Amino acid sequence: MNAVIMNTPVYMQALDNLLQVYGLRKTFGERLLFDVPELSLKHGQSYVLTGSNGSGKTTLLRILAGLEPAQINSLYFAGRVVPAPKICTQLAPRVIYLHQHPYLFSTSVAANIAYGLKASGLNLRQRDAKVNAAMQWAGVQYLAQIPPHKLSGGEKQRVALARAKVLNPEILLLDEPTANLDEEARQQVIALIRKMCDDNHCVVIATHDPELMALKDAVKLRLENASLQTQ
Amino acid sequence: MPLLNTTLEALRLLFSWDATLWGTILISVKVCFLALLIAAPLAIALGFVLATYRFPGRRLAIVLVQTLLALPTVVIGLILYMMLSRLGPFGELHLLFTQQAMVIGEAILAFPILAALTLAAVQAVDERVAETARTLGAGHLRSAMTILLEVRFAVMAAIVSGFGRVISEIGCAMMVGGNIAGVTRNITTTIALETSKGEFVQGIALGIVLVVIALAINIGLAVLQGRGGLR
Ligand SMILES: Nc1ncnc2c1ncn2[C@@H]1O[C@H](COP(=O)(O)OP(=O)(O)OP(=O)(O)O)[C@@H](O)[C@H]1O
Ligand SMILES: [Mg+2]
């Protein structure tokens, strides 16, 4: 059914934990941003991460993607140890972080979506088929001829989702994907996120958006007073 | 009106496709292109590394690049002359007063401007470019290429500026080229020589060529800067 479960050592499957982090602390100089003794993300489970402005949601997601250094005692992905400084090199693109304002490379929409596939070494024909499917999935075929920097915020967000989705990530870390979008764009993005969750990706969404916070079956995480609570 | 008459005569000389005159122009252009071909890949790579990685000696390397940039071309010509002269460390190669020596000299002159401008361009690039590349699974080399592609107009502007510095300088070309007619005599050394003989027609003709080149370079730079400013 899913590649991850098949690849996961048998003794780990019972635990069902895709990512486990122990002893995670982030400080900026003297200031402790958060101290999380344990965090596990389960395969196929979705999570919404809330917390007031400046509580560290963005920072936490970036740490999990390996884009930001932090103090970590141990980290396991699919049962295997991953050294903290190697998170990004070893886990990308199985774990993908999406910026609140995604950056689209100044090539074309299709080339953006093909980017990770190229890095993974697929040939042109295999790439084209996947890119077309992903563009259809995100409803962005009509944007194919527009230079990426001219797209609206919602369109950029959808292209960025397609660019990640095409790589079939096991964990997708979304940073306020619906912030600053008008109602129509927001609904389009939420629909795509729902599809990702239904497709059994582990999606972690940092958000202030009530509709995303109420996402069906999502585990609710909250950053407050430098600690992470599960509600 | 001696100036007007000489200028008219210079134009006549240019458009009569005078073989000596155009041969001189060709030597200048050829030396410039070869010098840039050698300097550009190395300088762009160095500029990228200095902008991206933190390592011991980085500050010193940046200071050296900037010093090289500020050095009069005649000093670089002098140093290279001593290196290539019969008793110098590279005297065995018999390169002094050849086109190859000019290419080496001009490559050294183009190097710091290319490296410094690439450094500035890469330093100014949005952090999300590298982060997006890495989280989508790109390795170091692919991320580097992605970043350079994002700042391609600035890199092209650097190359154009390098061409401008090299085509218009006289000190180094004179010192290591030796101003040999038909071999190492280029636009600038011809102007100096002819003027010192009291002959102005060739000098003005070649001066017009340099003005046209300078104009083309600056139009090119303006276009590139306009393109780079799209985002
Ligand atoms: N490089 C840094 N140096 C010092 N402090 C930093 C640095 N980066 C982030 N911070 C601080 O860390 C805190 C957490 O920032 P973060 O962006 O993770 O919060 P957030 O929960 O995502 O907030 P928001 O809801 O506004 O997006 C902020 O107070 C910020 O000022
Ligand atoms: Mg944030």
Put simply, the answer to whether B146 touches A105 (Cβ < 8 Å) is yes
Mutate which of A105, A127, A157 to test chain B, going by most B C-beta atoms within 10 A? A105
Interface check B128 vs A, CB under 8 A:
yes
Put simply, the answer to whether B135 touches A88 (Cβ < 8 Å) is yes
Nearest CA to ligand 1 atom 11: A54
Q: Residue A149 to residues A106, A155, A175: CA-CA distances in angstroms?
A: 7, 10, 20
Alpha carbon of B90: minimum distance to chain A alpha carbons (Å): 44
Q: Domain segments of chain B: what residues?
A: 21-186
ipTM greater than cut 0.95: no
d(Cα B52, Cα B50) in Å, to the nearest integer?
Answer: 6
- In the predicted structure, residue A86 carries a pLDDT above the cut 60: yes
Q: Is residue B179 a contact partner of residue B27, using CB atoms and an 8 Å limit?
A: no
Q: Looking at residue B228, what is its pLDDT?
A: 66
If one looks up domain B21-186 in CATH, what number appears?
A: 1.10.3720.10
Express as a percent the part of chain B with pLDDT over 90.
90
Alpha carbon of A46: minimum distance to chain B alpha carbons (Å): 20
Q: Is residue A48 a contact partner of residue A215, using CB atoms and an 8 Å limit?
A: yes
Contacts of residue B128 in chain A, CB cutoff 8 Å?
Answer: 99, 101-103
Count CB neighbours of B4 within 10 A: 8
Provide the pLDDT confidence category of residue B1 given band limits of 50, 70 and 90.
low
Interface check A164 vs B, CB under 8 A:
yes
- Cite the DSSP H helix spans in chain B: 2-15, 19-52, 58-70, 73-84, 99-124, 127-135, 140-150, 152-168, 171-172, 187-196, 201-228
Q: Which atom of ligand 1 is nearest to the CA of A100?
A: 27
d(Cα A90, Cα A105) in Å, to the nearest integer?
Answer: 23
Put simply, the answer to whether A119 touches B137 (Cβ < 8 Å) is yes
pTM, whole model, 2 decimals? 0.90
Q: Looking at residue A10, what is its pLDDT?
A: 46
Q: Mean pLDDT of all residues in chain A?
A: 92
Expressed in angstroms and rounded, the spacing between residue A55 Cα and the centre of ligand 1 is: 7
* Over residues A118-136, mean pLDDT: 92
To the nearest 10°, the Cα dihedral for A149, A151, A153, A159? -90
- In the predicted structure, residue A9 carries a pLDDT above the cut 90: no
| Radius of gyration of chain B, Cα coordinates, nearest whole angstrom | 20
The answer to whether domain A44-68+85-230 has CATH 3.30.750.24 is no
- In the predicted structure, residue A97 carries a pLDDT above the cut 90: yes
Task: Give the three-class secondary structure for A28.
Answer: strand
Q: Domain segments of chain A: what residues?
A: 44-68+85-230
Expressed in angstroms and rounded, the spacing between residue A53 Cα and the centre of ligand 1 is: 8
d(Cα B194, Cα B148) in Å, to the nearest integer?
Answer: 43
Q: Looking at residue B225, what is its pLDDT?
A: 80
A105, A147, A164: residue with CB nearest B150: A105
Provide the pLDDT confidence category of residue A228 given band limits of 50, 70 and 90.
very high
Q: Is residue A97 a contact partner of residue A173, using CB atoms and an 8 Å limit?
A: yes
Count CB neighbours of A195 within 10 A: 14
d(Cα A217, Cα B16) in Å, to the nearest integer?
Answer: 83
pLDDT tens per residue across span A139-162: 999 998 899 999 999 999 999 999
